[in-house]
């Protein structure tokens, strides 16, 4: 199953960035996907497959915000 990532989506990764952040915003879609750390602003490129495996939660800007407690 292909996860429909979209530009502007905010994803929560399983692995914590060295800066302490978990949330990243998708800024580039293609053969590789570019994401930016919302905590420190670090930009990272990785393959779609690696991103899908690393994502714990995806929050699309196209959907209404959900309160998850
Ligand atoms: Zn960071």
Supply the pTM of this predicted model: 0.80
Write down the pLDDT at residue 3: 66
Write down the pLDDT at residue 68: 57
The one-character DSSP state at 7 is T
In contact, 47 and 32? CB cutoff 8 Å:
yes
For 17-69, write each residue's pLDDT tens digit.
Answer: 999 999 999 999 998 999 999 999 999 999 999 999 999 988 876 555 555 55
CA of 43 to the centre of ligand 1 (A): 9
CA of 40 to the centre of ligand 1 (A): 4
Q: Binning pLDDT at 50, 70 and 90, where does residue 4 land?
A: confident
- Counting DSSP H helices and E strands in the chain, the numbers are 1, 5
């Amino acid at each position: 199953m292909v996860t429909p990532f979209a530009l502007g989506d905010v994803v929560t990764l399983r692995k914590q960035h060295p800066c302490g952040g978990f949330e990243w915003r998708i800024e580039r879609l293609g053969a590789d996907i570019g994401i930016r750390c919302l905590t420190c602003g670090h930009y990272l490129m990785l393959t779609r497959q690696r991103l899908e495996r690393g994502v714990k939660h995806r929050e699309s800007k196209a959907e209404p915000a959900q309160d998850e407690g």
